[in-house]
Structure 1
Amino acid sequence: MITIQGREWGTPAELAAALGSDVTEGMIRRWRDRKGLTTVAGYSPLDETARIERDARLSGRGRPRRVDVGAALVA
């Protein structure tokens, strides 16, 4: 992870590790393509990624999700 102007940015692998065991690199890449997750040179902001993950978890669509400590701390 790197910090740019007070925001933490990471690769899909770093973000998946930070957000918990039920978030995968593939999910983060799909969020980039489908949800418009900001990505610059392969890095995306942790706070924006956590917001998208939280919205997906709370939406009730898809497979059941659990709350991870990492995601709860970021949100």
Structure 2
Amino acid sequence: MMEVAGEHWGTAAEVAEHIGQGVTEDNVRRWAERYGLISVTMKDEKGRKQVRYLLGQAVRIDKAKRDEARGRPRMAA
């Protein structure tokens, strides 16, 4: 996880691990495609490019999807 201007950014794996509760890397990537989860390409500590996602927005999207009555239900914490 990386903090930039007071916002936490993470790779799909980091965001999925932070949220937990059945969220996968594919969920995070799908949220970016379908629901506008902000993603940017940043360089890591070794200078390699990585796609990072805004954690706070991902948490809000996850909550909205859990509260939705459509699709396969996921377990709440």
**TM-score, with structure 2 as normaliser:** 0.83
Aligned length: 68
Larger Rg: 2
Alignment match, 1:22: 22
The amino acid that maps onto 1:58 is: D
Alignment match, 1:55: 64
Which protein has the bigger strand share?
2
Q: CA deviation at 1:45?
A: 0.9
Cα root mean square deviation, aligned: 0.9
The amino acid that maps onto 2:9 is: W
* Residues 33-48 of structure 1: pairs in structure 2 closer than 5 A: 33-41=33-41, 42-48=51-57
| 3-state secondary structure, aligned to 2:9 | strand
Which protein has the bigger helix share?
1
| 3-state secondary structure, aligned to 1:43 | strand
**TM-score, with structure 1 as normaliser:** 0.85
Alignment match, 2:10: 10
